[in-house]
Structure 1
Amino acid sequence: MVSLHALLLKTPVPDQSVCEFSEDYKQIYLSLTYSIILALGLPLNGTVLWLSWRQSKRWSCATIYLVNLMVADLLYVLTLPFLITTYSLGDRWPFGELLCRLVRFLFYANLYGSILLLTCISVHRFLGVCHPLRSLPYRSRRHALLGTATTWALVVLQLLPTLFFSHTDYVDGQIICYDMTGPENFDQFFAYGIVLTLSGFVFPSSVILVCYSLMVRSLTKPGETLMRTGNAARAKSIRTILLVCGLFTLCFVPFHITRSFYLTLRFLSSQDCQLLMAASVAYKIWRPLVSLSSCLNPILYFLSVGNNTVRLFQELRGKKTRRSKSSSSIYSSNAHQSDKSWHPQICYCPGPQESCKICLAVWNRLKKN
């Protein structure tokens, strides 16, 4: 059965121009990609949340940000069975109006919530690398909780209009769920989409780019940076930079470019049906790929709190032996010798071990307050 998509141009006149093209590829491609993301994202994010819940130590700032990131991923991944069913049925939506709006809302909540939380993580890492002592009062659990609460509040406020724009409609003899909006509201959605792209993607991406540029400049300074951050902190910062940049390059940047190009062509009432078809296909190909971040974000968790995770597994298996204790002692000893200036849960301490003790003393005093 051939599924035809009528791309209505924005001028609502009786002899309205229509571009018709087949979207049969969606039934296989979207169903397959969403199934893969569901199969990977659900156990990965579920495992991270379970490990964090079982963690006996107080959550660090990084863990707070990352757990919220996993929650955003998990909420979106749980909506994928509805999308898989829909595209398997040839783009027919059998789940009603309320679930249509909720699924579209959670997609964008995951997308822009992930971007803002990654921005928080990047700023936190930047302050630890470039301003370790001056920023210490601002890198506390209280500020991390405040940052995540602010992030969720901004995401909800930004995305409330999607609950209005997304709706079901009767098209080509079947009920569909618009991932954007219907033709009658397209002009308003175009303006909203541009504002959302600037505030939810361009601005946070610029902040991340500035932070990482300054971090790279600091980390590439020989001698001074090594004394200030230590080997372990330097390696962790480099891994974070590479992974977050990879996430943006693979998932977020192509999606926003193809989406903006597609929306602009429709808004300008382009008469080039081939160009419209190419833009539509590019956007719909990258739309599920942006959800790959749900599978890659857990990697960021294991890179940031990997040592705690290994210790937790050892405790749960009940296999703490003298060897593991001695290994832990050796690790602590080596940490003081080769990485004297780094405390993994708290801050970057510049200078020798004495300066680190001062840093930890400041932190303990802040905790009491």
Structure 2
Amino acid sequence: MTLWPTSIPASLSHENQSNTVDGVCRYDRNSLMFTVVPVYIGIISALGIILNVFVLMVFCLHKKACTVAEIYLSNLAAADLFLVSMLPFWAVNVAKRYTWPFGESLCKLVPFSITMNAYCSIYTLVLVSIDRYLALVHPLTTESVRRPLYAKLACVVVWGVCVLLNVPVLIYRKIRESDTACFNAYPTETKKETETAINITNVILSFIIPILIIFFCTLKIIHALRNRLRDSLNTEGKEQKATTLILIVLLAFLICWVPYHVIKILDLLSRHNILTRCDMYLNLTQQIFFYFAFFNSVLNPILYVCVGRNFRKKVKEVFSQMSNKRKSTFSLVSTRTNLSRSVGTQEATKSSAYL
């Protein structure tokens, strides 16, 4: 299932503006969404860029190397930054009532950024869940596996796999000549079969499989934490803090993205006449949950600051590093200035002596 609204706004067609055309619900051209959604996306984009750049700067500028958990969180921030950097183009598209003014390259790249964010985020959280599972359930036997180098390699693999999973977006996303709409142009002769195959494959790969893995690991993590508390065993401080932050980030992702995935599954069922979309208002709810999911890219860095004690400590240390660096630079400049003045004075004294 492509992670993209499958509904066709009224502006994308010159057909009769009825409630449904070819079984697809349509929008009124004067719908409030064309004014509210662009403003919402603009705010999300601005906040997301500022906050995620801040998170990446903290992780990159800190003098200590990132832990395994921090590598995964920085990878999550990078995926969020990629998304919010592309969202202003989509905001303009909505404001123009789904008329695409940016050319075919961006018509492919902007949807690609959204699908990449969804895939990379959920599979990064799969890595995070597995890491926490190994750290708390099998802490002794898997210590050699949980290394920063392996975490970086795992992130590279995730990005590579996500690019492959999103190749259909780059292939089929095109601009329609009749109304300059950016849409999925599947081959006419096999349109239904191609769309169905892509939808079913992506439902399994982008939602069902990762959610099952995350659910399994989370249950084991919670069970391990309960056992440690019951047995009066103290979990190592850093591991416990990292686990708390990651579980909250995981919960935030599920709250933001699961409703959209569920609606997309219902939408897929409706396309095979199992459900009637307009009767169940699937079209409207799909749009609402789609745009609500963007909020996750802003929520993550806020959670790092509010919940992550280690992250707040890193922030203070980074600012302290920068302050010390400025002081040392200022001191060096002052020393050089004083030295230059001293040399100048000595040269003047020697000149006067010769005279």
2:211 to 192, 205, 208: 205
Q: 1:175 aligns with which of 177, 180, 203?
A: 180
Structure 1 gaps, min length 5: 9-14, 320-369
Change (3 A) 1:16 1:265: closer
1:216 is matched with 222
1:256 aligns with 2:261: yes
1:20 is displaced (CA, Å) by: 4.7
Report the secondary structure of 1:93's partner residue.
coil
Taking a change above 3 Å as real, the CA distance of residues 21 and 232 of structure 1, as seen in their structure-2 partners, is: closer
Q: Secondary structure at the match of 2:98?
A: coil
User: 1:141 matched to which residue of 2?
Assistant: 148
Number of equivalenced pairs: 307
**In 2, Cα distance between the equivalents of 1:78 and 1:18?**
31
**Which string of whole-angstrom CA distances, capped at 9 and with x for unpartnered residues, describes residues 246-295 of structure 1?**
321x211111111222233234397x57327x211111111121122211
**Superposition pairs of residues 82-97 of structure 1, within 5 angstroms:** 82-97=89-104
In structure 2, relative to structure 1, the CA distance for the partners of 1:6 and 1:280 (3 Å cut) is: farther
Higher Cα radius of gyration? 2
The reply on whether 1:274 has 2:281 as its aligned counterpart is: no
Mapped to 2, the partners of 1:181 and 1:26 lie a distance apart of 25
Cα distance in 2 for partners of 1:256, 1:7 equals: 30
CA RMSD of aligned residues (A): 2.9
Q: Distance in 1 between matches of 2:24 and 2:209?
A: 36
| Residues 85/18 of structure 1: CA separation in 2 closer, same or farther (3 Å cut) | closer
**In the alignment, does 2:111 pair up with 1:107?**
no
Select the residue among 126, 132, 139 that pairs with 1:125: 132
Change (3 A) 1:206 1:225: farther
**Is the alpha carbon distance of 1:241 and 1:20 closer, same or farther for their aligned partners in structure 2, counting shifts above 3 Å?**
closer
1:127-176 alpha-carbon deviations (Å, 9 max, x no partner): 111111211101001210111111011101111111122211145xx211
The change in CA–CA distance for 1:32 and 1:134 in structure 2 (over 3 A counts) is same
Q: After the TM superposition, which of the residue ranges 214-223 and 141-150 deviates more from structure 2? A: 214-223
Q: Does 1:240 align with 2:246?
A: yes
Residue 27 (structure 1) aligns with: 34
Q: Are 1:293 and 2:299 an aligned pair?
A: no
Residue in structure 1 matched with residue 331 of structure 2 by the alignment: none
> Which amino acid letter does the alignment assign opposite residue 166 of structure 2?
L
Cα–Cα, structure 1 residues 202 and 225, in superposed 2: closer, same or farther, change >3 Å? Answer: farther
**Pairing 1:35-114 to 2, within 5 Å after superposition:** 35-114=42-121
Q: Mark the runs of 5 or more structure 2 residues left unpaired by the alignment.
A: 1-8, 16-20, 326-355
So what's the TM-score if we normalise by structure 1? 0.75
Normalized against structure 2, the TM-score is what? 0.78
Contact 1:7–1:18, Cα closer than 8 Å, also in 2: no
Alpha-carbon spacing, 1:257–1:25, altered in 2? closer, same or farther (3 Å): farther
Match of 1:316 among 300, 306, 322: 322
Percent identical residues: 26
Counterpart secondary structure, 2:140? coil
